[in-house]
């Protein structure tokens, strides 16, 4: 496994593991519900392969994903970088809103530490920006947790460029997590530049387009009835067929290298800069092993040109979220 350094000296494996799919039911379901034993075995196998970076969040489940990750890393904690996120309010298991207050950061941190069974969170994100709380106040509260030893590094998720600048001027922001992939390239407009201006690492979530770029979904009929992606505009009956040209171009490059579509999509991200560490979501050892192998794939200039022609910036049909979801990103 290769390793990369995010902002402020945090070193992680070149590919991390997005643990969100490792839930049994809950609020965000891709495909069939996870087999929790297989999910745990997936984390253990990833560690064996040299993966050090594992991503979870309070909202996944909610709460249960952190518990699963915590149980899986028990006795294996040394050398791992565990990332989790806060930023929402709940009524029981129902999400009721966003809350970026220092008080919520603290309460959420305490809950995450308990569920994960660890003494320190390595990377603590604000999951979504709260427009009602100045970002300076939010990151100030997060830094209090750093000073108390409960958090090592702080980060933001889906922050817009101006919010990111303001945060970085008052606190050491180690990473920004946002959607980035061959079919979602808007961060190239300004956000990546801001990250590099302030030495902030970039963590692409959904690096496989929620599975679309892997080539296993050719129509909505391929999605189970309760799959969250059925509400994704890019998976609609109107938009999905037009986006298949991107998958077909990836498949052509994959055939030349003798690897999977997923490995090409991840290798493309790795080629965008040494400060980029994708976190493909997985719940099975087979898909995890396939994704991790992408760290050894090097794309040629011709490969990159083929992909750019099929997937130019802004060329994907349909927004990446529905109207409500789009109101919560790039704030």
- Please state, rounded to an integer, the average pLDDT across all residues of the chain: 94
User: Please, which residues have CB within 8 angstroms of residue 277's CB and are 6 or more apart in sequence?
Assistant: 4, 6, 12, 13, 14, 15, 16, 53, 201, 202, 203, 204
Q: Is 241 or 34 the better-scoring residue by pLDDT?
A: 241
pLDDT number for residue 207? 97
- Measured CA to CA in angstroms, residue 38 lies from 21, 120, 131, 267, 286 at distances of 12, 26, 39, 26, 10
Question: Which band of pLDDT confidence, cut at 50, 70 and 90, is reported for residue 49?
Answer: very high
Over the stretch 148-168, which tens digit does the pLDDT of each residue have? 999 999 999 999 999 999 999
pLDDT tens-digit map of 78-107 = 999 999 999 999 999 999 999 999 999 999
* Contact in structure between 34 and 23 (CB atoms under 8 Å): yes
Domain covering 3-326: architecture: Alpha-Beta Barrel (3.20)
Place of tokens 């530490």: 113
In the chain, pLDDT over 70 holds for what percent of residues? 97
Task: Enter the tokens of residue 90.
Answer: 């709940």
Q: What is the pLDDT of residue 291?
A: 98
Q: Per-residue pLDDT for 27 more than 60?
A: no
> Mean of the pLDDT values across residues 55-71?
96
- Give the residue, 137 or 34, on which the prediction is more confident: 137
**What one-character DSSP code corresponds to residue 295?**
G
Whether 3 is catalytic: no
Residue 109's pLDDT is 98
Q: Taking 80 as the threshold, does the pLDDT of residue 180 lie above it?
A: yes
- Identified catalytic residue from 3, 30, 60, 180: 60
Write down the domain spans for the chain: 3-326
Mean pLDDT value across residues 269-282? 97
- Both ends of the chain: CA-CA distance in Å? 35
Judge whether residue 225 has pLDDT over 90.
no
Note the pLDDT of residue 331. 75
């Amino acid at each position: 496994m290769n390793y990369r350094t995010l902002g402020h000296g945090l070193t992680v494996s070149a590919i991390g593991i997005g643990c969100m799919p490792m839930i049994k039911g809950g609020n965000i379901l891709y495909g069939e519900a996870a087999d929790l034993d297989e999910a745990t075995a997936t984390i253990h196998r990833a560690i064996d392969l040299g993966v050090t970076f594992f991503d979870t969040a309070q909202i996944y489940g909610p709460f249960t994903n952190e518990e699963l990750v915590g149980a899986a890393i028990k006795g294996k904690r040394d050398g791992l970088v565990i990332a989790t996120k806060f930023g929402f309010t709940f009524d029981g298991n129902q999400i009721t809103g966003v809350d970026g207050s220092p008080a919520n950061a603290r309460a959420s941190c305490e809950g995450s530490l308990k569920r994960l069974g660890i003494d320190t969170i390595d990377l603590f994100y604000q999951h979504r920006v709260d427009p009602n709380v100045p970002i300076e106040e939010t990151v100030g509260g997060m830094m209090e947790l750093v000073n108390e030893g409960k958090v090592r590094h702080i980060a933001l998720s889906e922050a817009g460029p101006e919010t990111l600048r303001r945060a970085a001027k008052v606190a050491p922001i180690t990473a920004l997590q946002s959607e980035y992939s061959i079919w979602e390239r808007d961060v190239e407009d300004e956000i990546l530049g801001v990250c590099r201006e302030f030495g902030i690492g970039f963590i692409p979530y959904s690096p496989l387009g929620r599975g679309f770029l892997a080539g296993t979904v050719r129509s909505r009929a391929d999605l189970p009835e309760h799959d969250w992606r059925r509400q994704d505009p890019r998976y609609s009956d109107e938009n999905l067929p037009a986006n298949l040209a991107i998958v077909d171009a990836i498949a052509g490059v994959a055939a030349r290298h003798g690897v999977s579509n997923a490995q090409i999509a991840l290798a493309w991200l790795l080629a965008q800069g040494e400060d980029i560490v994708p976190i493909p979501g997985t719940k099975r050892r087979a898909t995890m092993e396939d994704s991790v192998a992408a760290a050894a794939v090097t794309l040629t200039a011709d490969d990159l040109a083929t992909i750019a022609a099929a997937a130019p910036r802004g060329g994907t049909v349909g927004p990446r979220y529905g109207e409500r979801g789009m109101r919560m990103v790039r704030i």
